[in-house]
Amino acid sequence: MRLPSHLGIEHGRLRIGGHDCTTLAEIYGTPLYVTDLDRIAGNFRRFHAALAAHYPQTQMLFAAKANGNLAVIRTLAAEGAGADVFSAGELELALRAGMKPERLLFNGSSKSPTDLALAVETGVRVSVDSLEELRQLDAVAAEAGKTAGIAFRVNPALEVPTHPKIATGLKTSKFGIPAEEITAAYAEALASEHVEPVGIHCHIGSQILEVEPFARAAEVMNGVAGEVTDLGVDLDFIDIGGGLGIPYHHDTDAAPTPEEYAAAVMPVFLRGIRECGIDPSLWVEPGRWLVGDSSVLLVRVNSVKRAHRTFVNVDAGFNLLVRPAMYDAYHEVLVAGRADAAADGTYTVAGPICETGDLLAQDRGLPAPQAGDTIAVLDVGAYGFAMSSQYNSRPRCAEVAVTGGKHAIMRRAESFDDITATMETPDRTA
Amino acid sequence: MRLPSHLGIEHGRLRIGGHDCTTLAEIYGTPLYVTDLDRIAGNFRRFHAALAAHYPQTQMLFAAKANGNLAVIRTLAAEGAGADVFSAGELELALRAGMKPERLLFNGSSKSPTDLALAVETGVRVSVDSLEELRQLDAVAAEAGKTAGIAFRVNPALEVPTHPKIATGLKTSKFGIPAEEITAAYAEALASEHVEPVGIHCHIGSQILEVEPFARAAEVMNGVAGEVTDLGVDLDFIDIGGGLGIPYHHDTDAAPTPEEYAAAVMPVFLRGIRECGIDPSLWVEPGRWLVGDSSVLLVRVNSVKRAHRTFVNVDAGFNLLVRPAMYDAYHEVLVAGRADAAADGTYTVAGPICETGDLLAQDRGLPAPQAGDTIAVLDVGAYGFAMSSQYNSRPRCAEVAVTGGKHAIMRRAESFDDITATMETPDRTA
């Protein structure tokens, strides 16, 4: 199996950032997320360089929903990243990680009054999703005696080749304002006293493995940029969103590189701003591409059952990695201690959750997994721990960071007491 | 809309257990789960009575995965319920709620060494899912100098009318031992020194709205009971699982009553034990039926957007209720303050999560929802909070219990600090 450079196999054993996965599982216990922070920094630098080669005024905003661990966000902050934040919690994380408010965009289709007040208070830019939200934000900013810098989120009405649940730029999606209504929206924003339109924003979806949809979206944004510039908006930034996919199928997915992405998108973007006669910052919002391949989930085999299929029963399921159950997502799996051994049969890796759909990997060739073996699930850095739950009353596992040749806990494992900590038990009096 | 007796509309306002939902939302804030504990007790009594009328030796085991709040489990424990537990955490919750160990079944297809040791230590019965697990349990019990009472989980290889992710009795499902191999498994258990086979167990799935599959499963279990009795097993219990559905579509689902369920299943069960000449306890494992209709999720409207559809943007999404996004599940929704007003149009209730699939209810007739309105999502007591996450770095909401005319917190809301509490942030040194 093709592996990215931070993973490797030595004497048959899988390593991440130079550390033996089986050893990490022994030291910290399983299940265990292991994240290579250096890989994240490297991914960031590569993506940024690919775009900056075309246009130096490029600002990368990490899509914070992909991975909410402070160690990850700190790593990206240190590289100069900002963040696309989707909630007060993500905003707080980004600020705490040391990101500058001017590099943050408060995104979201359903912001509460508290969210809007926080955005105004911290001075971050706001991606406004509806006219009603514009009016609410104007009122909140007026009350605070401030002016909020905004973009509207444009719905580009594009079909993209990805899972429908994460195709965010569809005509029928809940996100954004239809392109044909966008000029009127900016006109209203210009006329509002306490908001200042300074950007335009779109995002077409996630895990897209072709570059052409991004170029089409950039074309739509050129049209919007022209219209709003004519209207008198001084565009400080154009945010073209994120969505570049990663090769979850290591040997068969043809995933575009950041350089290929840049080669497809940047000429369109550059032509657009030249035609408008403007020089805004380019904002880009990768999430999965920066962190997805940085992590492995290490799980332990509890038992192997030969039934109508052969099940390898492991100690984590969709409580800790929901993508296979929720999106039919594919993740490569390896027996960590025999990572280059030949398969002896076909196995289905099943979690401990009480649902038939709790399968991490189906019908894979593996080398005779046995109770006690460590299995590594690859590419879990994005939408992995971030979407975890305590379903079946299972405490969530630890996360370990590997960096600079060392390893350390970046999130401790929960205990049973963490599950009950927020519970009160009122007596039933009836 | 047809409503169960603990819900009602007074002066146009939705009430639960006699409490005005809008008022509860004001007092406790939104999002908010509200659970009527008295309804749960009533559901339990009705289900138990329906079965006990046919066969007094009926023991109800609450499927604890459906709702892991201690107040809920205490309510059921006080009624005499046991529990079907699927993890060490659920076992701990059941014991802490006051359930007796002899009324618990430790179920699960992937038990860790720790799980098995805990089962032996607490003396609960174990539903064994594979021969390898049998041998592991025998070894663990030997080491503890004890004997573990077990059932095997039988895979009845039945197709049932429900969502494939929760059809647990399919031939290809990860659960249980194929019926044709079950006699050999019991023979091995009889020959094992530290396990004692005392029961048989099956479960065919969840949210099943016909009684006929349950009768077929009971027929399969009769066959198994005959075989293992002939083998010399003294059956102390026969556990026929759970799975009876509830009418999520209030006006159109034809959900069988517990009495109808009992009328279909009990004659089969009774004929089976008569033919075997045995009088085991009947164990039944309802989850959803006991708690599903007991709870509403109250959410606040942040904004309304007219785009290609009209979106009602609310403050909770699949972070707090994953069923619509994960299983395309349907939940009734009402504007709590105008619960009997006529619809003025068609609305899609969308959550605040950054995914297109984050819709709680699609294309519903509602009476002109507006920012600030409280919307009630019905029937969220099962697999609601239990499957919640902190996705998008959103703290989870509070749960309130209503009982005996009072209301009280049964789980406090999380804060941002609860999200970061387990994080450590190792420096990246490279």
Q: What is the pLDDT along chain A (430 residues), one digit of tens a residue?
A: 999 999 999 999 999 999 999 999 999 999 999 999 999 999 999 999 999 999 999 999 999 999 999 999 999 999 999 999 999 999 999 999 999 999 999 999 999 999 999 999 999 999 999 999 999 999 999 999 999 999 999 998 887 777 777 777 777 788 999 888 999 999 999 999 999 999 999 999 999 999 999 999 999 999 999 999 999 999 999 999 999 999 999 999 999 999 999 999 999 999 999 999 999 999 999 999 999 999 999 999 999 999 889 999 999 999 999 999 999 999 999 999 999 999 999 999 999 999 999 999 999 999 999 999 999 999 999 999 999 999 999 999 999 999 999 999 999 999 999 999 999 977 664 4
Amino acid at B341: A
| Cα–Cα distance for residue pair A128/A151, rounded to 1 Å | 6
Q: What is the pLDDT of residue B171?
A: 77
CB nearest to A90's CB, from B358, B392, B413: B392
Which of chain B's residues have a Cβ under 8 Å away from the Cβ of A351? 110
How near does any CA of chain B get to the CA of A274, in Å? Answer: 31
Q: What is the pLDDT of residue B427?
A: 66
Chain B residue whose CA is closest to A89: B393
Q: What is the pLDDT of residue A151?
A: 98
Q: Where are the alpha helices (DSSP H) in B53-200?
A: 70-78, 88-96, 113-122, 131-144, 182-191
| Cα–Cα distance for residue pair A199/A154, rounded to 1 Å | 11
| Cα–Cα distance for residue pair A293/A14, rounded to 1 Å | 15
| Cα–Cα distance for residue pair A108/A91, rounded to 1 Å | 12
Chain A residue whose CA is closest to B394: A89
**Are residues B309 and A37, on separate chains, in Cβ contact within 8 Å?**
no
The answer to pTM > 0.90 is yes
**Are residues A355 and B302, on separate chains, in Cβ contact within 8 Å?**
no
A21 counts as catalytic = no
| Cα–Cα distance for residue pair B360/B188, rounded to 1 Å | 49
Which residues in chain B come in under a pLDDT of 50? 429-430
Which of chain B's residues have a Cβ under 8 Å away from the Cβ of A325? 165, 326
Residue pointed to by tokens 């076909």: A346
Q: Which residues of B are catalytic?
A: 354
Give ipTM to 2 decimals.
Answer: 0.96
**Are residues B411 and A426, on separate chains, in Cβ contact within 8 Å?**
no
CA dihedral sign of residues B287, B293, B294, B296: positive
**Are residues A386 and B388, on separate chains, in Cβ contact within 8 Å?**
no
**Are residues B423 and A404, on separate chains, in Cβ contact within 8 Å?**
no
Contact B393, B420 (CB under 8 A): no
Q: What is the pLDDT of residue B158?
A: 84
